[in-house]
Amino acid sequence: MTTTVSTPIAVPAKPRHRRRSSPYPTWFLLPAAIVYGILFLIPTFASLYFSLTRWTLFNSSFIGLDNFVAFFEEPFLIQGVVNTIIFALLTCALKVVFGLGLAVLLTSQIHARGLLRSVVFFPVLVSTVGVGIAFTAMMHPTDGIINAGLGLLGIKGPGWLTNPSLAIYSVAFVEVWRGVGLATVIFIAGIVSIPQDYYEAARIDGATGWERFVYITLPLSRPAMVTVVILSFIHGLRNFELVWAMTRGGPGFASDVLASVIYKQYQAGFYGLSTAGNVVLFVLIAAMAVPLYLYLNRKEGHQ
Amino acid sequence: MTRSNFPAVLLGGTAVGLLALGAGAASAQDTVNLTLLIDNSADTVALTEQLVADFEARNPNIDIEIETRPGGGEGDNIVKTRLATGQMTDIFLYNSGSLLQALAPSQTLVPLTDQPFLDRVLDSFESTVTSGGDVYGVPVQTAMGGGILYNRDIYEELDLEIPMTWDAFMANNATIAEAGYVPVIQTYRDTWTSQLFVLADFYNVLAEEPDFAERYTANEAKYATSDAALEGFRHLAEVHEAGYMNEDFGAATYDDGLRMLSTGEGAHYPMLTFAIAAIEATYPENLDSVGFFAQPGSDPEINGLTTWMPAALYVPKTTSHPEEAMAFLDFVASVDGCNAITEAVGATGPYLVEGCDLPSDVPAATADMLPYFEEDGRTAPALEFLSPVKGPTLEQLTVEVGSGIRSPEDAAALYDQDVERQAQQLGLEGW
């Protein structure tokens, strides 16, 4: 009797209890918490403090919000912000278009598909700075291979990186070349996971290839699209390596982005000011990326 | 050795420590290892290796290991970060003048004021490595001039004369352009090279406004409002507007510039004379084709050279071998040290150590520069040795002026604005 009574009570109680608490003691979290605290939390709060000081690395004096005032008064900040947004939007859009196109191509029945997939992905594996230096040489106004090739066709190529109104677009183009492989791989994963049944059903109904793309591939690869848009947009906003390797923000300030403005302030020894710039950059990226993420994911939920 | 073994003794226990000490006791215990951080330019590396080799030959118990770092802003960062975190080498090479002040020398460096070898260092140099009454460095290499390096072969071929005024310089450029050479070489891939027309004009600025530097430090004189100071920016714009620059000026590097100058592709390259050592290192066969003259101003009667002081060796407070480090500084600031440098990279200007004479056969460009130093009143230090105020964006602004993106007046005004932050960072009065 007692056993039959006690078991129905005890059995459901046990898993409920077990689900709530981990089998491991809480102090198992301690090593990770210490590492996270030392490497992330403390620097984050220290940077918030130092952004309010005039800091020479050797000593600092508290100056309130003066750094933020100075940062927003920076004469080249507007140019940097505009360039950052141009760069992020342009690279993001082109990566989606080319990435999706390549993914559709590379999931179709073509020859040497495996090889082509590798070729598209290769640039992602190469160091960004290496890519930047290689393209800088190719984009040299007189000796570069691009203008030499155009010269053979009788076209006088522009100074890709030395023309102030062209430089940021040249860098964006290289970023697309470098990053489109990753976008393609994400799109391929998205397209491959679409059940073949939909395509068969559509084929039976007489849908054309274009219709299958627009009504099946495009909507059903939305999760992949969201990932690509978010990743490449954030990457574009905080882009630095490629700009620095190719133009150092030049000529003059023509291809400066936010991150290179901040880095130059850091190089000049204005440590407090550049820390304030980083706080601004962090807030700016969060302010753009979080709503974008929420918007794109909400739509996905309605599908 | 001692420094790297210290944690091993603590962690590995006494047995390991004793083994290590026992093994090293006979041969290595007397040897002191020093580290030395220098910039990675070809001539600095060559002359430092020679200095270290000669020093080690005299001091077999001291072993110096050379580390290199990039130059420019990146190098500044490395030096500041390593000093601030206590990771600096036993000795390091760094600029004198305004850049040194940003290292907070009184907190980070060992003062040399009581060292006997300082008596051999010329006063004109000592003042550029002094902070708060203490001297911190000894000079490496020679005093330099900022002006125009020119190709002597082109000058000879076109029968040109050294210009004594800016107008004569522009007239020479016109002749050179007609003959199909590049009149003025500009290399904006290395942005720092774009500043020379502005910085090397400072002799002419001082000739017109002798108190410019003091008033500049006190936030009274400005580039944008001083006609004399604006002239340098205007010169740069004139050269661009006249189309006298090499076609790839926006993408060319400092090394490209040296090649074009020494091989006779271009006639003029505004530059510091340390380039003579670099030409000797990379294009030795063309060294005699390169000459030098000071940047001319408006008045033919006033013609002189803007001078730069060389970099210096400093000892950080964190060193564990201050005595051995001082021994190396003692050697560098001696006649033997000068001779080692001359042997490695040739003589590029007058030394700043007493008793150091130049050999009779100096490169042509050096010979062109020496007369300025020998006559009274024909040299003036660059602004960065008279005032701690130097803004970081000058090189971007001069690239803009030289590329025709911005007017000289706008650039000068923006530079004045830029300088303000630097002065505030240094905590100067009146800003």
Tens digit of each residue's pLDDT (9 = 90 or more) over A52-79: 888 877 778 888 888 888 888 888 888 8
Question: Most distant CA pair in chain B: distance in Å?
Answer: 80
Chains A, B: CB contacts within 8 A come to 89
pTM: 0.81
Contact A252 B251 (CB under 8 A): no
What's the average model confidence in pLDDT over B201-213? 93
Whose structure tokens read 């981990």? A22
Q: Is B414 on the interface with A (CB under 8 A)?
A: yes
Name which of A140, A266, A269 is nearest B102 (Cβ-Cβ): A269
Nearest-angstrom CA–CA distance, A166 and A72: 25
Phi first, then psi: what are they for B263, rounded to 5°?
Answer: -90, 0
pLDDT band at A200 (very low <50, low <70, confident <90, very high): very high
Q: Is the pLDDT of residue B311 over 90?
A: yes
Nearest-angstrom CA–CA distance, A170 and A157: 13
Q: Which residues pair with B307 in a beta bridge?
A: B145, B381
Burial of residue A295 (CB within 10 Å: 0-12, 13-18, 19+) is exposed
Name which of B107, B399, B422 is nearest A252 (Cβ-Cβ): B399
Name which of B80, B191, B400 is nearest A57 (Cβ-Cβ): B80
DSSP sequence for chain A = -HHHHHHHHHHHHHHHHHHHS-SS-GGGGHHHHHHHIIIIIHHHHHHHHHTTEEE-SS-EEE-TTHHHHHHHH-TTHHHHHHHHHHHHHHHHHHHHHHHHHHHHHHHSS-TTHHHHHHHHHHHHHS-HHHHHHHHHHHT-TTTSHHHHHHHHTT-----TTTSTTTHHHHHHHHHHHHHHHHHHHHHHHHHHTS-HHHHHHHHHTT--HHHHIIIIIHHHTHHHHHHHHHHHHHHHHT--HHHHHHTTT-STTTT--HHHHHHHHHHTT-HHHHHHHHHHHHHHHHHHHHHHHHHHHHHHHH-
From-to residues of CATH 3.40.190.10 in chain B: 2-10+29-142+309-345, 144-308+364-426
Nearest-angstrom CA–CA distance, B388 and B390: 6
Nearest-angstrom CA–CA distance, B312 and B337: 13
Name which of B84, B247, B399 is nearest A251 (Cβ-Cβ): B399
Using one digit for the tens of pLDDT, what is the confidence trace for B80-136? Answer: 889 988 999 999 999 998 888 888 898 899 999 889 999 999 888 998 999 888 999
Contact B81 A56 (CB under 8 A): no
pLDDT at B26: 41
Burial of residue A222 (CB within 10 Å: 0-12, 13-18, 19+) is middle
Using one digit for the tens of pLDDT, what is the confidence trace for B369-389? Answer: 999 988 888 999 999 999 888
- Which of A125, A146, A121 is CA-nearest to residue A135? A146
Contact A162 B80 (CB under 8 A): no
The CA radius of gyration of chain A, in Å to the nearest whole number, is: 26
Residue of B nearest to A255 (CA): B396
**B window 66-105, beta carbon within 8 A of A:** 73-74, 76-77, 80-81, 83-84, 102-104
Average pLDDT over chain A, rounded to whole?
85
Q: Is the pLDDT of residue B23 over 80?
A: no
Nearest-angstrom CA–CA distance, B417 and B394: 11
Q: Is the pLDDT of residue A12 over 60?
A: no
**B window 237-256, beta carbon within 8 A of A:** 247-251
Using one digit for the tens of pLDDT, what is the confidence trace for B158-174? Answer: 999 999 999 999 999 99
Task: Write the CA distances from A253 to A226, B73, B246, B330, B380, integer angstroms.
Answer: 33, 16, 21, 45, 32
Contact A251 B417 (CB under 8 A): no
- Which of A90, A93, A177 is CA-nearest to residue A135? A177
Instruction: Identify whether the C-beta of residue B135 lies closer than 8 Å to the C-beta of residue B129.
Output: yes
- CATH number assigned to the domain covering A74-302: 1.10.3720.10
- Which of B223, B371, B397 is CA-nearest to residue B305? B371
Residue of B nearest to A162 (CA): B250
Least confident of B85-89, B203-207, B420-424: B420-424
What's the average model confidence in pLDDT over B24-31? 55
From-to residues of CATH 1.10.3720.10 in chain A: 74-302
Q: Is the pLDDT of residue A273 over 60?
A: yes
Q: Is B107 on the interface with A (CB under 8 A)?
A: yes
Contact B403 A249 (CB under 8 A): no
Average pLDDT over chain B, rounded to whole?
88
Nearest-angstrom CA–CA distance, A199 and A208: 10
Least confident of A15-29, A59-73, B328-342: A15-29
Nearest-angstrom CA–CA distance, B328 and B140: 12
- CATH number assigned to the domain covering B144-308+364-426: 3.40.190.10
Pairing, β B32-39 against β A53-55: unpaired
% residues pLDDT > 90 (chain A)? 42
Name the interface residues of A facing B (CB cutoff 8 Å): 54, 56-59, 70, 75, 136, 140-143, 159, 161-164, 248-254, 264, 266-270, 273
Nearest-angstrom CA–CA distance, A111 and B414: 59
Among B69, B76, B79, B80, most A C-beta atoms within 10 A, so best to mutate, is B80
Residue of B nearest to A267 (CA): B73
Among A248, A266, A273, most B C-beta atoms within 10 A, so best to mutate, is A248
Q: Is the pLDDT of residue B366 over 50?
A: yes
List chain B residues with CB under 8 Å of A163.
Answer: 250
Among B74, B131, B188, B248, most A C-beta atoms within 10 A, so best to mutate, is B248
Instruction: Identify whether the C-beta of residue B280 lies closer than 8 Å to the C-beta of residue B346.
Output: yes
What is the CA angle B222-B227-B230, rounded to 5?
Answer: 70
CATH superfamily of B2-10+29-142+309-345: Periplasmic binding protein-like II (3.40.190.10)
User: Residue A146 has which token pair?
Assistant: 């691009």
pLDDT band at B73 (very low <50, low <70, confident <90, very high): confident
pLDDT band at A20 (very low <50, low <70, confident <90, very high): low
Contact A252 B80 (CB under 8 A): no
List chain B residues with CB under 8 Å of A267.
Answer: 73-74, 76-77, 392
Contact A141 B424 (CB under 8 A): no
Burial of residue A110 (CB within 10 Å: 0-12, 13-18, 19+) is exposed
pLDDT at A299: 59
Highest mean pLDDT among A90-104, A262-276, B353-367 belongs to: A90-104
Task: Write the CA distances from B236 to A98, A104, B196, B200, integer angstroms.
Answer: 44, 54, 9, 12
Nearest-angstrom CA–CA distance, B202 and B157: 31
Contact B191 A270 (CB under 8 A): no
Contact A250 B83 (CB under 8 A): no
User: Residue B312 has which token pair?
Assistant: 């210096």
Nearest-angstrom CA–CA distance, B341 and B49: 9
Contact B425 A140 (CB under 8 A): no
Among A55, A146, A253, A261, most B C-beta atoms within 10 A, so best to mutate, is A253
User: Residue A137 has which token pair?
Assistant: 């040489």
Residue of A nearest to B419 (CA): A268
What is the CA angle A37-A232-A184, rounded to 5?
Answer: 120
Q: Which H or E run contains B334?
A: none
Pairing, β B32-39 against β B62-69: parallel
Among B424, B428, B431, most A C-beta atoms within 10 A, so best to mutate, is B424
Nearest-angstrom CA–CA distance, A168 and A163: 9
Work out the minimum CA distance from A252 to partner chain B, whole angstroms: 4
Count of positions (residues) in chain B: 431
pLDDT at A93: 95
User: Residue A75 has which token pair?
Assistant: 């004469």
List chain A residues with CB under 8 Å of B84.
Answer: 57-58
